Amino acid sequence: RMSRHAQQLRDHDINPCVAETDASRKCMDDNNYNKDMCTAHFMKYKSCRKFWHDIMMQRKRSGVKPEMPSAEERKKMLESMG
């Protein structure tokens, strides 16, 4: 059984970067844990985290709840950006 923390990391409403996390992990598995082979995946993950962290801080400053938009709301935000 997954811990509560592990469940939250898999929850698309809490973690906006589940796909990037999975891609990085798969890359590491596929490349015998050679980090050099997965740099692109790590960069995508880092930019995902930074992007949504910035959105979250902006919403927090503006008093918007919840601070992290839901998965559905994030999808709409990304679509509106093109």
Tens-digit pLDDT profile for residues 40-74: 999 999 999 999 999 999 999 999 999 999 999 99
pLDDT, tens only, 11-28: 888 899 999 999 999 999
Q: What is the pLDDT of residue 72?
A: 94
Lookup result for tokens 């938009």: 69
Q: Count the domains in the chain.
A: 1
Residue numbers of the domain that contains 50: 4-80
Supply angle C-alpha 66, 68, 71, rounded to 5: 110
Is the peptide bond prior to 66 cis by the omega test (within 30 degrees of 0)? Answer: yes
Radius of gyration of the chain (CA): 15
Lookup result for tokens 């992007």: 51
Sorting pLDDT into bands at 50, 70 and 90, what band is 7? confident
Positions of E strands within the chain:
none
